[in-house]
Structure 1
Amino acid sequence: MSDASETIAERLQEAFDTLTRAEKQLADSLLQNYPVSGLSSITQVAQNAEVSTPTVVRMVQKLGYSGFPAFQATLRDELEAQISDPISRRNIWADKVPEAHILNRFTDAVIGNIRQTLTQIDLEMFERCCAMLADADRSVYVVGGRITRSLAEHFFLHMQVLRADVTHIQSVSNAWPHYLLDVSAGDVVVIFDVRRYENSTLKLAEMARERGAVIVLFTDQWRSPVHDLADCSFCGRIVVPSAWDSSVTLLLMLETVIADVQERTWDKTRDRMEALEDMFDRTRFFRKFT
């Protein structure tokens, strides 16, 4: 029985693996412009997803609704309640911008990327990955590429505060072999690699795997070649109306991982944070407002 407080999007994500191929196609269609995509007639909803109307009926019943009218009533309630949500607040200022303006088009694409990515995250894999990253008996190494090095540095900086024995492998192809000297079986190597996939990153992953390391990969929806070597892969959608790919979804996932690891290691992390704050106070790196 579904929790009445769950949104339809959450129900779709939870039930996704149990849906038929046509129902998954319908779920993807509904999530692309959620919740507005579900407010058309049942015929239009089916046509938008290129499925039959009986498929729509079967899927909404799988989600716990008596029929399509009850499903739509819940969507309308969600839409009304969303006025306090960040995405809805964004719509308030977005209304002041022409629909075709880049601010609207880019933001809509990012929101769609996040929603689509969340439907495909393997929660068991997520938990297993965070447990390994929190394991003090494992060293952690972090590496990024030409574009993703900023994400790798962001991840490294936070992990370094949370726990000991975290190393940032510099993104210089002739320097990273030095770091592999210290990689042991069971250590975790976190790799960021999106299109255009880098040959040196793949070689690093191959050699780290040969040494018995566990590979955690942050990549795009097409999956880096490193995916075949990875024990855990976080695949985020990155396409936006720009010549550049978006890092927003990958940043969301890596910050969520950081938050989870923090909770798992909090007994020791708190002491590390207090010690770090004491050092900051003594060095006066940051201004204090009193």
Structure 2
Amino acid sequence: MDTNAVGLEDGTAGDSTPGNLTHAWLGDVFPDVPLSKAQSRVVDVIGRNPQLSSYADIAEIAQRADVNNSTVVRAAQHLGYRGWPDLQRELRSRYLVMISTEDTLTEHGEHRSPLHDAINHDIENLRLTLDSNTADDAEAAIAAMAAAKSITVVGLGSFAGPASVMAHLGSTMGYPITLENRGGVHLASSTNTLGPGDVLVVINMWRSIRQIIVTAEAAKQAGATVIAISDMRRGRLAAAADHLLVVASEGISFFQSVTGANSLVYGLLAGMEAAHPERSRTAIRRTQQLWKDLDIYLD
């Protein structure tokens, strides 16, 4: 599989926009903004080389575009990203959607030690997740949930994991929060009353799930606040979100990692507790008493 074979003529003209240089796999990664000649070459290299641009270091991109590393960084920032790592995380997310699940195994190759490789890769995922979100991004999402009449958290498949953590621990500290992890008619029924004052939290990485995207768009149209936790900074879910938190989700096998999403959720929960400390502690004390009354734990 040659994922880099695009087969277009080289383009070096200036005063271009990404729209006339890029390819279908990129979707809306690049906004339609004017580009200098050097920036156009960077975008052209990215568009023609999905695999390379998703995994190569900045020096190789710069060499192919006949620019220096700083130009690649400035091009990424001009296109709305914090820098090359932020843009490359977005490119890699799109690339992994483009190839098949089986091809993902080929892409990741063999492991020296699955355990150590997975942990080391997640350390990098956590670093990228940290770099992709500002304190203000997180505080704005926390404030929205702290003020909400109700919170519905949606996540399907593997991504129901962090959604379940958020709903369970949020309920433990007294938040009016529920989990929807089933989709279909259940998703419709659990979100059909969302409106002003309500919050919908959507956790979706890798391939966009149509039901979830449409639900987020409908909730936003009805006046609810939408918080999205995603590995893509652009796209329909990002467009529907009032607050977007970006996570790195690439795993070492055919599946995505939710480590970044889980850590982000833990941070949001800590902020939610701090937003209502007395209510949270009262609810936690009552929960602990119920544990005893229900004889849940051995000790």
What TM-score results when the alignment is normalised by the length of structure 1?
0.63
How many residues were matched structurally? 203
* Contact 1:134–1:163 under 8 Å retained in 2: no
Change over 3 Å in CA distance of 1:224–1:153 after alignment to 2: farther
Give the aligned residue type for 2:135: L
Using the alignment, how far apart are the partners of 1:49 and 1:108 within structure 2? 25
Letter paired with 1:118:
L
Compute the displacement of 1:179 (Å): 2.1
C-alpha distance after superposition, 1:4-56 (max 9, x if no partner): xxxxxxxxxxxxxxxxxx9xxxxxxxxxxxxxxxxxxxxxx99689699997x
In structure 1, the partner of 2:153 is 142
Q: 1:222 to 1:121 in 2, by over 3 A?
A: closer
Distance 1:223 1:54 in 2: 24
The change in CA–CA distance for 1:111 and 1:175 in structure 2 (over 3 A counts) is: same
Structure 2 counterpart of 1:138, which letter?
K
Amino acid at match of 1:102: P
Gap change, CA 1:118 and 1:283, over 3 Å in 2: same
Secondary structure of the equivalent of 1:195?
coil
| Offset of residue 169 of structure 1 | 2.5
Q: How does 1:1-290 map to 2 (within 5 A)?
A: 100-135=112-147, 137-221=148-232, 225-288=236-299
CA distance in 1, matches of 2:128, 2:181: 32
Of structures 1 and 2, the larger Rg is shown by 1
Unaligned runs of 5+ in 2: 1-38, 40-56, 71-110
Q: Secondary structure at the match of 2:201?
A: strand
Distance 1:178 1:102, change over 3 A: closer
Question: RMSD of aligned C-alpha atoms?
Answer: 2.8
Q: TM-score, with normalisation over the residues of structure 2?
A: 0.61
* Partners of 1:134 and 1:261 within 8 A in 2: yes
Q: CA deviation at 1:155?
A: 0.9
Residue 162 of structure 2 aligns to a residue whose secondary structure is helix
What percent identity do the matched residue pairs reach? 16
Structure 1 CA distance, aligned partners of 2:69 and 2:167? Answer: 49
Structure 1: how far apart are the matches of 2:153 and 2:278? Answer: 23
Q: 1:265 is aligned with what amino acid?
A: H
Query: How much does 1:263 deviate?
Result: 1.3
Secondary structure of the equivalent of 1:106? helix
